[in-house]
Amino acid sequence: MPNKYDQFGKPNFFPQVEVKVPMDEFENAIRKIGITTACEWFGHTKDSAFVEQTINHFEWRARQEGN
C-alpha cells in the first residue's frame, strides 16, 4: 500500500492551476514534476515534515480550486 508521499507526491497528481500570479507558475512546475521530487531537489527527504506540509498545502489548494 503506497504511503502519502508516494501517492500524493507523484508527477501530475495535482492538476495545474490557472496562472493568476507568477507564483502559480512555480506551483505548476512543482505539480508537473511531483511534490516529492521537487522537495528532494531542495534537499528534503521524501518522508520529511516539509514534504508532508507541502502535500497538505497542495491538497488545500486543490480544494480551493474545486479539484
pLDDT in tens, 2-58: 677 778 888 999 999 899 999 999 999 999 999 999 999 999 998 899 999 999 999
- The total number of residues written for the chain in this structure: 67
Please tell me the distance from the alpha carbon of residue 54 to that of residue 56, in angstroms, as a whole number.
5
Q: Return left, alpha or beta for 14; rule: phi > 0 is left, psi -120 to 50 is alpha, else beta.
A: beta
pTM of the full structure = 0.81
Question: What is the distance between the alpha carbons of residues 45 and 20, in angstroms, rounded to a whole number?
Answer: 30
Residue 23 C-alpha cell reads as 507564483
pLDDT at residue 28, as a whole number: 95
- Look at residue 40 in the predicted model and tell me its pLDDT: 94
